[in-house]
Amino acid sequence: MIDPRRGQPVDLQTDRFRLRTLRPDDASERWAGWAKDPDIMGGLNAPVRDMDRQYLANFAAGFDNRSRYLIGVFEKQSELHIGFFLVDVDGMHRLATIHAVIGDKAWWGKGVTNECRATLLDHFFNERGIEKACAVPLTGNVAAVSTFKKQGWRLEGTLRGHRLSFADGSRLDQYQFGLLREEWAALRKQAGPR
């Protein structure tokens, strides 16, 4: 029986990856290991944490596929879970805030984020009624910031001293990037898939 409080899960494909809603049974030691890695957590300004499989199963169960989505990135050939996207939707304003984590460092610098995010943008703009996508990376997260610039997102502003550093308590700046549905459609028409 389908829970009426939950929306339709996501299940999409790119050339190299499958993107699908994460389920409690996706909880794994591999996924838990990403939270223990200071390189991964540092870019998120999050503390290194010890998460067990039950914690991750409960975490995955907390997403409703209406206002909150947890979408896994799986390499198609091996079916290996290499990362995830967290998407928060404000239905009233037709706005989606997108966060990405590529936990498998072997895939860093290989275009995973933009390939997958392009497919998610297509889906959320065309199938889920979203009219604007947003993202708020820390200004010091050079890798994340470069993906938004390369993909054509607009830098809308800098939120000065907007976050506290988990590392040392200093105040950190955060960028606000935005992308309107019609801007994305124009980018797709100009350049094709990215």
CATH number of the domain where residue 96 is located: 3.40.630.30
In a domain, 120, yes or no: yes
Q: Which pLDDT value is given to residue 4?
A: 53
Question: Could you report the per-residue pLDDT of 5-57, keeping only the tens digit for each?
Answer: 579 999 999 999 999 999 999 999 999 999 999 999 988 889 999 999 999 99
φ and ψ at residue 45, rounded to 5 degrees: 55, 50
Domain count of the fold of the chain: 1
For residue 131, the model assigns a pLDDT of 98
Answer whether residue 158 is part of any domain: no
> With helix as H, strand as E and coil as C, how does 44-66 read?
CCCCCCCCCHHHHHHHHHCCCCC
Query: What pLDDT shows up at residue 1?
Result: 44
Residue 14 CB: number of other CB atoms within 10 A? 17
> What is the pLDDT at residue 38?
93
Task: Return the closest-CA partner of residue 31 out of 71, 81, 73.
Answer: 81
Looking at residue 122, its pLDDT comes to 97
Report if residue 76 sits inside a domain: yes
Is-contact 169 188, C-beta < 8 A?
no
Asked if residue 174 belongs to a domain, the reply is: no
Identify the pLDDT of residue 43.
85
Domain assignment of residue 117, yes or no: yes
The pLDDT of residue 194:
54
End-to-end CA distance of the chain: 38
Q: Which of 173, 174, 171 is nearest to 148 (CA)?
A: 174
| C-beta separation of 89 from 37 below 8 A | no
For residue 75, is it within any domain? yes
Instruction: Decide if 13 contacts 2 (C-beta within 8 A).
Output: no
Residue 138 in any domain: the answer is: no
- 10-residue mean pLDDT series, the chain (194 residues): 71 98 97 94 90 95 97 97 98 97 97 98 97 97 96 97 92 97 95 60
Q: Which domain holds residue 121?
A: 11-133
Is residue 170 a part of any domain in this protein? no
